[in-house]
Amino acid sequence: MSKFTLEMNRYFSATVGAYSLVTDREATGDKSVTLDRYEKEVIFSAYHPDSFERRGGAESTGYDSHKEFIFHDRNHIRSKIKLAIVYPKKTGQELRLYFSKPTGFDPQAGEYWYIFRDGDDVPHIGVMDSFVWENIFQSKSYDPFLFKSQQNFDDEDDSYQKEVGAAIAGLPISTSNLKYRRSSTVAKNALKAANYLCEAEPSHVTFSTAAGLNYQECHHLIPVSLQNHFEAGLDVEENIAVLCATCHRFLHYGRGEEKFELLTKLWLAKKDGLDRRQIKISFKELLSIYTGNGLL
């Protein structure tokens, strides 16, 4: 287990934390982890060392063998759960935490599990896919101050969507003075390629437009307001995600942590096309665009 770095503490708004890559033995064997000194530091900051049940033939202490945690699942949704955490032997200071499939805390081999404290009374515990974890914390090219949160989402989006809608319906497009120019033809091509379905979830039904097509919106995954950071043009089909209005607004205004699942899905779908267009960006940098101070 490794102790949270300063970057990780900032990311999770943590005061103390630790993390580890789950081994095959831990995931498929006794489905538990033996806590090291860093993990104990987190646990003992919330629960007294003498408040854990001792097994291995020891006389019962009367303490509850389950402790409360705030669980962060793979989709970064939080819930309160209880997990078994005990001294498994009659003597000694070995402290073991058990996985629990019913609660959702059931990390698989190759995933990361983590634990930390913030301002809450109980510890936070979570599981994260290794692809996401390593791209967040191990990307060497990442500059946490390169991009700055919601300010990157331009305030001209409504005008842009109206232009795209007019172009699809064959209506005259009003001449606009958008600061960041975008081509309605590029947007039309992206919509057609997506078959007018939401790329976040194709089952999301909206309504039929005047042109008889399922209404969707075009979202530049890397906002065109960041064009000065890139040599390649950002107004290209490969950088446009076709989304229903709800998913689109979620990317603009939703909580940063809860955007992980959707951003991961869009990244996996778009990264090869971005590479072909020579748009150089890491997944970690993409995440920073949608968060405050470069961190979720």
Compare 99 and 177 and report the one with higher pLDDT.
Answer: 99
Which domains are assigned to the chain?
2-137 (2.40.330.10), 149-289 (no CATH)
Closest by Cα among 6, 19, 37 to 132: 19
Statement: the pTM of the whole predicted model exceeds 0.85: no
* Mean pLDDT of all residues belonging to the chain: 85
The answer to whether residue 86 scores a pLDDT higher than 90 is yes
Tell me the per-residue pLDDT of 125-168, one tens digit each, with 9 for 90 and over.
Answer: 999 988 778 877 765 444 443 444 444 455 677 778 888 877 77
**Cα dist from 101 to 30, 73, 120, 137, 140, whole Å:** 13, 12, 24, 27, 34
Average pLDDT over residues 85-101: 93
Give the Cα separation of 220 and 210 in Å (integer). Answer: 24
Residue 63 has a pLDDT of 81
